[in-house]
């Protein structure tokens, strides 16, 4: 099992999609941002622009799925309008949302807790352990270069990262809420701070 490097990063779940609003499981299905999601991405960019002094962003790395990539592009535009460099969004396939297989498009159900516990994997889907390994590897790639990255990604991915940070995994991350992830030190838990 790969360990998460003890390096800080910004994490941003993509803005809202229609399937988010309907409580449906998206997974790898490439659902675009809705109008609310576009506005959420703009607001996230504004929030991040107010915190660049304390936690400057060196680059933006995103899932290639459209809802995350578009969120990252909007945030990059807003940051540039507020004095940050004009970041070119880097894509990493390892940041794609978990594949929920046969559960994609269906309402989120009771199976989710069993999936996180490793007792259930949807047909043609990805296990939570597989997702955790992939998520940690992707974040480690993003944090290896100098400076702090902004990672724009997905809710399921963040649950896997919470598990890797030694935190309770099944906590829902709201759409487009910037999250500062700070390691506390050797053997100590990570600290997560949401900004709004």
- Of the listed 39, 97, 126, 133, which one is catalytic? 97
The annotation status of 15 as a binding-site residue, yes or no, is yes
For residue 24, the 8-state DSSP code is: B
Q: Is 14 annotated as a binding residue?
A: yes
Mean pLDDT of 20-41: 97
Does 18 carry a binding-site annotation? Answer: yes
* Of 14, 103, 126, 154, catalytic: 14
pLDDT at 117: 95
Average pLDDT over residues 33-54: 96
How many independent structural domains does the chain possess? 1
Calculate mean pLDDT across residues 108-121. 92
77 is in an annotated binding site: no
Alpha carbons 61 and 53: distance in angstroms, whole number = 20
Phi and psi angles of residue 51, each rounded to the nearest 5 degrees, phi first: -115, 15
Residue 126 gets which letter from DSSP?
A: -
Residue 143 counted as domain residue: yes
Q: Answer yes or no: is pLDDT of 173 > 80.
A: yes
The token pair that represents 28 in the structure block: 């790898």
Please state, in angstroms and as integers, the Cα–Cα distance from residue 28 to each residue in 147, 182, 193, following that order.
29, 28, 27
Give 68-124 as a DSSP string.
HHHHHHHHHHHHHHTTS--PPPEE-GGGSPP--GGGTTSBP-THHHHHHTTS---TT
The Cα–Cα gap between 191 and 85 comes to 27
Task: Tell whether 150 is covered by a domain.
Answer: yes
- Is 104 part of the annotated catalytic residue set? no
Tell me which residue of 3, 25, 1 sits closest to 139, measured CA to CA: 3
| Residue 194 belongs to some domain of the structure | no
pLDDT of 51 above 70: yes
Residue 15 carries which DSSP code?
A: P
- The answer to whether 13 is a known ligand-binding residue is yes
- CATH number of the domain to which 125 belongs: 3.40.50.1240
Residue 2 lies in a domain: no
Q: What is the mean pLDDT of residues 133-153?
A: 97
| Distance separating alpha carbons of residues 85 and 103, to the nearest angstrom | 40
Report yes or no on 3 lying in a domain: no
Q: Please tell me the predicted confidence (pLDDT) of residue 1.
A: 79
- What integer pLDDT is reported at residue 187 of this predicted model? 65
Picking from 65, 70, 76, the residue whose alpha carbon sits closest to that of residue 10 is: 76
In this structure, is residue 118 part of a structural domain? yes
Place 186 in a pLDDT band, splitting at 50, 70 and 90.
Answer: low
Average pLDDT, the chain: 95
Residue 192: inside a domain, yes or no?
no
In a domain, 190, yes or no: no
97 catalytic residue (yes or no): yes
Q: Is 20 annotated among the ligand-binding residues?
A: yes
pLDDT tens per residue, range 71-92? 999 999 999 999 999 999 999 9
pLDDT at 110: 85
CA distance 146 to 194: 23
Q: What is the mean pLDDT of residues 130-138?
A: 98
* Domain with 98 in it: 9-184
Contact between residue 20 and residue 174 where contact means Cβ atoms under 8 Å apart: no
Q: Is the pLDDT of residue 108 over 90?
A: no
């Amino acid at each position: 099992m790969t360990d998460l490097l003890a390096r800080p990063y910004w994490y941003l779940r993509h803005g809202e999609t229609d399937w988010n609003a309907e409580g449906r499981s998206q997974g790898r299905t490439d659902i675009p941002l809705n109008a609310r999601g576009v506005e959420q991405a703009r607001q996230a960019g504004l929030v991040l622009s107010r915190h660049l002094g304390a936690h400057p962003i060196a680059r933006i790395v995103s899932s290639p799925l459209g809802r995350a990539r578009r969120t990252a592009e909007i945030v990059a535009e807003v940051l540039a309008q507020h004095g940050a460099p004009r970041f070119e969004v880097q894509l990493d396939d390892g940041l794609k949302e978990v594949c929920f297989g046969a559960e994609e498009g269906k309402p989120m159900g009771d199976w989710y807790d069993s999936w996180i516990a490793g007792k259930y994997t949807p047909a043609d889907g990805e296990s939570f352990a597989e997702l955790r390994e992939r998520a940690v590897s992707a974040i480690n790639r993003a944090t290896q270069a100098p400076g702090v990255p902004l990672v724009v990604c997905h809710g399921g991915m963040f649950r896997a990262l919470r598990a890797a940070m030694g935190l309770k995994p099944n906590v829902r991350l709201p759409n487009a809420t910037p999250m500062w992830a700070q390691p506390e030190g050797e053997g100590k838990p990570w600290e997560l701070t949401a900004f709004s």
